[in-house]
Structure 1
Amino acid sequence: MKVRLVVLATLVAMTLVTTKTSYTLGHQVVANFDFITIEELKEKVTQTEAPFILDVRGSESYANSQTRIKGSLHFSPRKLKYRLEFPPLKDLPKTREMVTYCACPNDEAAITAAQILVSSGFKRVRVLKGGWQEWLKAKGPVEQRPRG
């Protein structure tokens, strides 16, 4: 009984320490990625080697907004896998830090995009915890999005 409790306590402690998230499909791990906090990303967007930020908000949400996170590019989640075959995504090193964000309540589109990036070979993929709404609440830097 003591051994089971020690094993259980160890597993709980390991879960609390790690921020890596695994998503499974059946018994196969689909993607491993980290979440990034609003504060971490606010700091990183001002650095020389800022992460490549993918705005994967739905088309309607994106169209109704006049701004985006500073330095981000919009990619439809449904077309992301196809877009990986063309610049600028095709030309990015697989070791470049990538951050995805969306306007979904539980970051679903950003998680889906992260899964696509990881399965395509990107090594440093993170999802912005809280997404677009939390970014705006925290007054993260934004820029005008291109028209059209």
Structure 2
Amino acid sequence: MGDLQALLDSHGLSLVFLSVLAEQAGLPVPAYPMMFVAGALSMQESGPSIGAVLFAVISACLIADTAWYFAGKRLGQPMLRTICRVSLSPDTCIRQTQSLYLRVGPRSLVFAKLLPGAGALSTAMAGMTSTPFMTFLFYDALGALVWAGGALLAGVGVSDFVDTILAAFSTYGHIAVLVAGGAFALFIAWRFWLRWRLLRRTGRIPRMTVMELESRRSAGAPPLVVDVRAHGVAPIERIPGALVMELHAPLEALGEHSPEHDIVVYCACPHEMSAAVLAERLRVAGYRRTWALAGGFDEWKRLQGALSTQSDEASNDPTKQAAAH
């Protein structure tokens, strides 16, 4: 125990800082146990003060979260989509995070770190929505304080038993690490199996391309377009005429549209996951002529940009102008 105690006494703040920085940067490094131990050691004469530990935690959070903020500000939706593409819950990752931030705004940063998977995505959303940087820093620091406070207070509560805890960890730590590692590996395997099963199931939902959608709209026979992305108080661009519908909203939200009506559902998530989930639900309910939009809103937006570029080039080409006349 002496070596472990000496390591924590001499480098406790550095270990807390590095573990929090790594976790907030997105690495699978749990920082809560280190903060718990730091809280317990803060009650000993040789341990770091609780104020110093809080300063280390908040500093690490602000460094990592500022990087996520500017990444979101610079890269926007593609970065968010890339993060969620490797998420264990790709069907809800973007939609839930966007919905939370759009509804609550930067105040969501106060409790975002308490929600699994929402911390980095919420800070990226702050950058994407152009939240003022100082406002972001204030709420993010407050969120770091709330997040760290629970672990530190729990550590303070067991400070009288810290010697026993450290002795047990020194004696049985390797066994605990093996057990925890095995449990974590089983958890990851289970989540990946759930993800694979969901991807396989929703992959059976037919897709409609954006070109086909625009062709139908141009021909005067447009399908009902349903927007299943996150919605909040902030304005959001959508396909013209799209019906806004929550993923689990009652089917009465479709109004007078009959099951024979063509329906196209779109989202802004990897594999059109949310759109496919709603499309599957509609098809089971009898709306058999339902598709998910391939590529989602981002693909539709790219098509509009390409068509706009072609139109601009044609308007600036004298040969094409003469042919048109």
TM-score of the two chains, using structure 2 as the length reference: 0.30
Counterpart of 2:221? 49
CA contact (8 A) 1:31 1:114 kept: no
- Tell me the CA shift for residue 31 of structure 1: 9.6
Structure 2: which amino acid aligns with 1:116? R
Structure 2: which amino acid aligns with 1:45? R
- Tell me the CA shift for residue 138 of structure 1: 1.0
Question: SS of 1:77's equivalent?
Answer: coil
Counterpart of 1:132? 297
Counterpart of 1:71? 241
1:85 equivalent to 2:252? Answer yes
Question: SS of 1:85's equivalent?
Answer: helix
TM-score of the two chains, using structure 1 as the length reference: 0.63
CA contact (8 A) 2:266 2:275 kept: yes
CA contact (8 A) 2:208 2:292 kept: yes
Structure 1: which amino acid aligns with 2:247? P
Looking at both structures, which has the greater relative contact order when contacts are Cα pairs under 8 Å and sequence separation is at least 6? 1
- Tell me the CA shift for residue 46 of structure 1: 2.2
Counterpart of 2:181? none
User: 1:74, 1:45 → 2: CA distance?
Assistant: 18
Structure 2: which amino acid aligns with 1:72? A
Alignment of 1:35-46 (within 5 A): 35-46=207-218
Counterpart of 1:16? none
CA contact (8 A) 1:45 1:71 kept: no
**1:69-126 C-alpha deviation (Å, 9 max, x unpaired):** 12211111132xx1x125xx24212111100000112211100110111011012111
- Tell me the CA shift for residue 32 of structure 1: 5.8
Q: 1:30 to 1:133 in 2, by over 3 A?
A: closer
Structure with the largest fraction of helix: 2
User: 2:241, 2:270 → 1: CA distance?
Assistant: 23
CA contact (8 A) 1:55 1:73 kept: yes
User: 1:91, 1:132 → 2: CA distance?
Assistant: 25
Q: 1:44 to 1:63 in 2, by over 3 A?
A: farther
Q: 1:131 to 1:30 in 2, by over 3 A?
A: closer
- Percent identical among aligned pairs is 31
Counterpart of 1:114? 279
Structure 1: which amino acid aligns with 2:210? I
Counterpart of 2:264? 99
Question: SS of 1:40's equivalent?
Answer: helix
- Tell me the CA shift for residue 64 of structure 1: 5.1
User: 2:247, 2:260 → 1: CA distance?
Assistant: 21
Counterpart of 2:318? none
What runs of 5+ residues in structure 2 fail to find an aligned partner? 1-196, 308-325
CA contact (8 A) 1:58 1:77 kept: no
What runs of 5+ residues in structure 1 fail to find an aligned partner? 1-23, 142-148
Structure 2: which amino acid aligns with 1:128? L
Pairwise CA RMSD: 2.7
User: 1:119, 1:70 → 2: CA distance?
Assistant: 27
Q: 1:46 to 1:113 in 2, by over 3 A?
A: same
Q: 1:120 to 1:113 in 2, by over 3 A?
A: same
CA contact (8 A) 2:202 2:273 kept: no
Structure with the largest fraction of strand: 1
